[in-house]
Amino acid sequence: MIDKGRAPAADDRPTMLPRSPLREAAGWATVRVAAGLNACCGHRRDCGFGILMYHRVTDHPKGADTPTNNVTPQRLRQQLTGLLDRGFRPWTLDALLDACRDGRPIPPQTFAVTFDDGFENNLTDALPVLQDLDVPATIFLVTGFLDSRVPMPSDNWADAGSTAVPESSWRTLTTAQCDELLASGVIQLGAHTHTHELFRGRADAFYEDLAESVDVMDRKFGIANPTFAFPFGITSPELVDAARRAGVRCALTTRPDCVQPSEDPFHWGRFGATQQDTPTTLAAKLGGWYSPLARTLRALQRPLVSIVPKSTREMLLIRNSSFAFPAGQSPAESQPSPEAQHVDAS
């Protein structure tokens, strides 16, 4: 049952733009260059800490389209094991927020793990990996879809809701499953709005939606002032102000940057972790090399695109004179991440 029946209808599903092959190639090339620099030079000094963003964690069902925004359980284990082997230390998001608030030092190579949207597979497929490796994580729930039996409209996987694939691959968590996650001692829960709608330019609606989500977090789980991540990575000064008023503790974006401890936690960025990421590429993102390269490419995008003939731009699906790549997404993702589509707005 969807809480208060306020979940959006299926035809509210946000329209996804096709991703430019050039944009994807540029993004992945940047990740590889960053990995090379990280291997040669080690982590950048004073790069702060990093936060990883996952969504779905499931095996690829036979005969189905490749699940979007997905990392398989095996890949998740490989990625996290590789980071631990390289000396990275996982902290909870709350521990990072507490340390930053209190001015306590955060050791080099500290990182946090987050999961957006609250898929059931976070319990069935991700939790065993996290428990085995003793890696804590925060799951950001779309509270209007707790206990829902229908896929979220924002889920852009064609097979979401199909009886041909396991329900856990697309269903959202139930309240009882969230209690189970909390009891594991490994998982913290945060808010990801109540409906996961597009709130660009709708700060008042966003405030009401998030306030309802905050209320659900308190009523159902006893979590006051929950952590929060913007849906679709869409943020603006007005949305940040609304988030503060709604009573959340932080507001994470999808801006692919490490976090400086002095930074306002309502602007903290995160790195998307994809199925194509290896421990090496994730270490390059968390080690501080990816972000400056990505910024440099973004600064060059307009002059570079302007010299490409219009017909070629259309062929390559370059929109709005831009091929800027988002959130550390790698090119081989078969479909665009809803979060990634709007990261440039952050």
| Contact present, 326 and 256 (Cβ < 8 Å) | yes
* DSSP-based three-state secondary structure for 70: strand
* Cβ proximity to Zn ion, 88 vs 170, nearer residue: 170
Secondary structure element (H or E) that encloses residue 89, with its range: strand 89-90
| Positions in the binding site for Zn ion (CB under 5 A) | 116-117, 231
Q: Tell me the one-letter amino acid at 179.
A: D
CA distance 107 to 105: 6
Q: How far is the CB of 25 from Zn ion (least distance, A)?
A: 25
Q: How far is the CB of 84 from Zn ion (least distance, A)?
A: 26
Q: How far is the CB of 42 from Zn ion (least distance, A)?
A: 33
The CB-nearest residue to Zn ion is: 116
Q: How far is the CB of 117 from Zn ion (least distance, A)?
A: 5
* Cβ proximity to Zn ion, 117 vs 120, nearer residue: 117
CA angle 277, 280, 284 (to 5 degrees): 95
CA distance 271 to 254: 7
| Contact present, 213 and 7 (Cβ < 8 Å) | no
CA distance 75 to 65: 18
* Cβ proximity to Zn ion, 148 vs 280, nearer residue: 148
* Cβ proximity to Zn ion, 111 vs 230, nearer residue: 230
DSSP state of 140: E
* Cβ proximity to Zn ion, 142 vs 286, nearer residue: 142
* Cβ proximity to Zn ion, 116 vs 125, nearer residue: 116
Q: How far is the CB of 235 from Zn ion (least distance, A)?
A: 13
CA distance 34 to 291: 9
CA distance 176 to 184: 13
* Cβ proximity to Zn ion, 51 vs 284, nearer residue: 51
CA distance 203 to 181: 31
* Cβ proximity to Zn ion, 116 vs 212, nearer residue: 116
**How many Cβ atoms from other residues are within 10 Å of residue 290's Cβ?**
28
DSSP 223-279: --S--BB-GGG---HHHHHHHHHHT-S--B------B-TTS-TTS---EE--TT--H
Is 333 buried (19+), middle (13-18) or exposed (0-12) by CB count in 10 A? buried
Q: How far is the CB of 139 from Zn ion (least distance, A)?
A: 11
Q: How far is the CB of 290 from Zn ion (least distance, A)?
A: 22
| Contact present, 271 and 294 (Cβ < 8 Å) | no
Q: How far is the CB of 311 from Zn ion (least distance, A)?
A: 35
Q: Which residues neighbour 264 within 8 Å (Cβ) at sequence distance 6 or greater?
A: none
* Cβ proximity to Zn ion, 77 vs 192, nearer residue: 192
Q: How far is the CB of 41 from Zn ion (least distance, A)?
A: 34
Q: How far is the CB of 213 from Zn ion (least distance, A)?
A: 12
CA-based nearest residue to 48, from 268, 344, 299, 326: 268
CA-based nearest residue to 225, from 118, 98, 100, 117: 98
* DSSP-based three-state secondary structure for 228: strand
* Cβ proximity to Zn ion, 56 vs 285, nearer residue: 56
